[in-house]
Amino acid sequence: MKRYRDIAGDGGSNIAGQVEAQQGRLRQRLETVRAVVAVVSGKGGVGKSALTANLACCFALDGWKVGVLDADLNGPTQAKVLGVRGRRLVLADGGVEPPRTELGVKVMSMDLLLPDDAAPLTWDAPVQDEAHTWRGAMEANAVREFLADTNWGALDALLLDLPPGIDRLATVASLVPTLAGIVVVTIPSEVSHLVVRKSITVAAHTKAPVLGLVENMAGLFHGPDASRLAADAGIPFLGSVPFDPALAVAADRGEAFMATTPWCESARALRRIADGIRAALSSRGATGLSPRGA
């Protein structure tokens, strides 16, 4: 097996040149996107994807043009949650046309590329045993391609739904130097807070502002206080979303919870959080976005 030190330069493949070209396309593509916002946790299963999808719907209901990139390549769920599973991807104008939800949210996900339900994502490598060695680099490449080669068009906000793992944010932040903000998600448990605290540290090391912490599934456990976690970390607390089985059912059905039951407690909590994020983005002035109703 060849080792890194055996490879002279890039072995003649001009990988560095290809990455640079792709990064240039990415920069160009994101020029028409006012705010790229990453939804992260570090901890798995806390509701990052549900929050991302519902925030996207809130913004779309406000009249924003919104996109969602499912940056979870190995466990993609956004196509299902946003109700666009099985849609065909069409090539147009030098990019891939993302499917749109009924509310007009543009969605790109690895799920739209995988051939069937049971097929996991595998990476090509000369020897399968080596694939895990390259996984980080290949995942970063795939996210870069999704960002650069999707016809996002003009968007007010592009939300990135990150996979679990505290290292993932650093990768995305390096791919998108213009990241407008980071939203961190936890659930009320000490185990979650333990991991999320580390994620906040990673977030603070990026150049992007941390817009705040969201507590999801409130009431499910009697856990530690999320507003205290936010205060201790010196970041805003955006609010709590109660545990609500109806929210999970809507996600399973691919229905826009924020449009079908906007009056219920969890939807109202999500609405307040969306408004907080809008206000935080506009107060930072990076995007020219105005808070709702302004």
41 binds Mg ion per the rule CB under 5 A: no
Q: How many residues bind Mg ion (CB under 5 A)?
A: 2
Instruction: Name the 3-class secondary structure at 216.
Output: strand
Q: Read off the DSSP letter of residue 150.
A: B
What is the distance between the alpha carbons of residues 118 and 291, in angstroms, rounded to a whole number? 42
65 binds ligand ATP per the rule CB under 6 A: no
Q: Which amino acid is at 287?
A: T
Take residue 90 and report the two structure tokens written for it: 């069409």
What is the distance between the alpha carbons of residues 195 and 186, in angstroms, rounded to a whole number? 9
C-alpha count within 13 angstroms, C-beta hemisphere, residue 113? 20
Take residue 205 and report the two structure tokens written for it: 């090391």
Judged by beta carbon distances under 5 to 8 A according to partner kind, the member of Mg ion, ligand ATP, none in contact with residue 248 is ligand ATP
Stretch that binds Mg ion, among 49-57, 129-137, 186-194, 220-228 (CB under 5 A): 49-57
With b meaning 16 or more CB within 10 Å and e meaning fewer, what string describes 233-254?
A: bebbbbbbbbbbeebeebbeeb
Take residue 115 and report the two structure tokens written for it: 């051939």
75 binds ligand ATP per the rule CB under 6 A: yes
User: Cβ 75 to ligand ATP, closest distance in Å?
Assistant: 5
Instruction: Name the 3-class secondary structure at 119.
Output: coil
Residues 175-204 that bind ligand ATP (CB under 6 A): none
Q: Which amino acid is at 72?
A: D
Give the residues across from 35 on adjacent strands. Answer: 157
Stretch that binds Mg ion, among 48-56, 110-118, 191-199, 260-268 (CB under 5 A): 48-56
287 binds Mg ion per the rule CB under 5 A: no
Among 46, 107, 203, 281, binds ligand ATP (CB under 6 A): 46
What is the distance between the alpha carbons of residues 18 and 149, in angstroms, rounded to a whole number? 14
Judged by beta carbon distances under 5 to 8 A according to partner kind, the member of Mg ion, ligand ATP, none in contact with residue 192 is none
45 binds ligand ATP per the rule CB under 6 A: yes
80 binds ligand ATP per the rule CB under 6 A: no
Contacts of 148 (CB under 8 A, 6+ apart): 22, 23, 25, 26, 29
Among 217, 226, 258, 280, binds ligand ATP (CB under 6 A): 217
* Contact by Cβ (8 Å): 160, 37: yes
Nearer to ligand ATP, 142 or 286 (CB): 142
User: Cβ 12 to ligand ATP, closest distance in Å?
Assistant: 38
49 binds Mg ion per the rule CB under 5 A: yes
User: Cβ 162 to ligand ATP, closest distance in Å?
Assistant: 8
Nearer to ligand ATP, 30 or 107 (CB): 107
Under the rule (CB under 6 A), what is the footprint of ligand ATP? 41, 44-50, 72, 75, 77, 163-164, 216-217, 241, 243-245, 247-248, 251, 266
Under the rule (CB under 5 A), what is the footprint of Mg ion? 48-49
